[in-house]
Structure 1
Amino acid sequence: MTDAAGLSEDLSRQADLWAAASVRPHHLGHRERLRDRALRGGIEALPDYELLEMHLFRSIPRGDVKPLAKALLTRFGSLAGVLGATVAELRTVKGVGEAVALDLKLLHHTALRIGREQVARRTVITSWAQLLDYVKVALAHEAREQFRVLFLDKKNQLIADEVQNHGTVDHAPVYPREVMRRALELSASAIILVHNHPSGDPTPSTTDVDMTRQVIEAGRALRITVHDHLVVGRDGVASFKALGLM
């Protein structure tokens, strides 16, 4: 009986081992299935976390990256938030090393350059939707205030997009004379002011309004037009012109 009981126990243990060996981790084959689904249904049909997963496949050659993709989206709120985060911010997420953070920033800057090209090839005033998309990608998720100026030629085509100043979480100093000096150097006929509100709310402040008026006055004497001032936040883009503030 003892031998029979021992044999039965051995057989049961062996059966358990065979069963365990036959169960594959759920993520095995997931990459191939996701790639196939993207090819069949179109990449545009993928939800954000799967799109991010597919990008992470290149940074992390093996393993299940779905939890990391979801963790990034939870931490930064959206795909745009993930790409707009700094390298230091990205590395606060468990599983994100230097290589992953760099790859995500490369994707962000690729999107920025594509957006800038789309704006630069056309008259800015008639490609307003592309301009708004571009400034949102550039600034909506910046952790500090950043003041930029878009310099335009006589045809209102983009000459340059330059960062004039970085600031704190709620202030970036602006010097109207410096803005106009740079406009003269570039032979710009008009400018569009752009800055972000890291709080997320793009509503212009009293300080924003006062500063804009100073820049307009500085440009008037030089016959340089200020077409608009755009304030960018995660909640949208506010236009001074549309709001009747200039």
Structure 2
Amino acid sequence: MKTSLIKDLAKYEKPREKVIKNGLFTLTNEELLAILIRTGGKDKSAIDVAREILKDIGDLRNLVDTEIEELTKFKNIGKTKAVTIKAACELGLRITKNAVAETQKIKTPEDIYNVIKPQILGKKKEYLYVISLNTKGKIIDTTLLSTGTTNAALINPVDVYKTALIKRASSIILVHNHPSNDPTPSTEDIKVTEKLAKVSKELGIPLVDHIIACDSSFVSMKSLGILQTYKI
């Protein structure tokens, strides 16, 4: 059976026309991705290509963590299309991050988790973030500091506090994810946290907490008693 091309669809079935007539919310995930892809190939529509990608990665949220090189392995997806897809993913993440950060005052570890969760969902590697806070406990900036292996984030105290000084933070919160979905702190996690806490006292920029985040759970080092309690 020959695959239908978008140009062969009735006008009201084409993704762009559907958006104009009914709005973006009426489109399927495949159709939204097809708009970014724009064109398919000789015997495949952009929707067919989008469907293949989503079927292969297993879950829409995995698109965020799919590298450009991985996307170009799909037929009819070159570097330009792959970059377009990744740029759209990044915009979505930044919009979510900014919407939360602009108004939220950090009061609890759960507040921190809610801020970072959209950025770590489905991640296959460890990502380390430094959240800079002002004197009122509001977020100044969320900085991705390093990307590690599947076993341990690369935490360099110099880089952590260099970021804090550049952002003029009054205090900071460290967050990294565990791709294993087990938020239990490792021995190394605890050692690094204790080391950073000592540096924070010397610099006068308190390390308020170190959160280990997973897709559906998290652990707060402060709640475990590993960090001295600081008032934000």
Pairwise TM-score range, normalised by the shorter structure = 0.7 to 0.9
* CA spacing shift, 1:242–1:92, aligned 2, 3 Å: farther
What CA distance in whole angstroms lies between the structure 2 residues aligned with 1:130 and 1:101?
33
Give 1:219-230 correspondences, 5 Å limit.
219-230=200-211
Tell me, yes or no, if structure 1 residue 149 matches structure 2 residue 125: no
Q: Work out whether 1:110 is the aligned partner of 2:91.
A: yes
Shift, 1:86, TM fit: 1.1
Residue matched to 2:52: 71
Aligned residues of 2:134 and 2:140 also touching (Cα < 8 A): yes
1:215 aligns with 2:196: yes
* C-alpha distance in structure 2 between counterparts of 1:31 and 1:154, whole Å: 55
- Residue type matched to 1:33 in 2? E
Equivalent positions of 1:47-196 (< 5 A) are 47-56=28-37, 58=38, 60=40, 63-125=44-106, 132=113, 135-196=116-177
**Native 8 Å contact 1:119 1:127 kept in 2:** no
Letter in 1 for 2:206: T
Distance 1:201 1:159, change over 3 A: same
Map Cα deviations across residues 19-76 of structure 1 (whole Å, 9 max, x no partner). xxxx9947521674154555666533544333323333x3559952233222222222
Counterparts in 2 of 1:199 and 1:72: CA distance versus 1, 3 Å: farther
How far apart, CA to CA, are the structure 1 residues paired with 2:225 and 2:70?
35
Q: CA separation in 1, counterparts of 2:220 and 2:13?
A: 48
> What is the alpha-carbon distance in structure 1 between the residues aligned to residue 164 and residue 55 of structure 2?
41
Q: Which residue of 2 aligns with 1:17?
A: none
User: CA separation in 2, counterparts of 1:194 and 1:200?
Assistant: 14
1:131 is displaced (CA, Å) by 5.8
More helix by share: 1
Matched residue, 2:178: 197
Deviation at 1:118, TM superposition (A): 1.9
Change in Cα spacing, 1:228 to 1:42, as seen in structure 2 (3 Å) is farther
Provide the rounded CA distance (Å) in 2 between the counterparts of 1:196 and 1:244: 17
| Structure 1 residues 110 and 127: CA distance shift in structure 2, 3 A | farther
Q: Deviation at 1:89?
A: 1.7
Q: Using the alignment, how far apart are the partners of 1:75 and 1:120 within structure 2?
A: 33
Q: Does 1:236 align with 2:223?
A: no
Structure 2 CA distance for partners of 1:245 and 1:88, relative to 1, 3 Å: farther
**TM-score, normalised relative to structure 1:** 0.71
In structure 1, list runs of 5 or more residues that go unmatched: 1-22
1:43 paired with 2:24, answer: yes
Identify which range, 147-156 or 163-172, moves more after superposition: 163-172
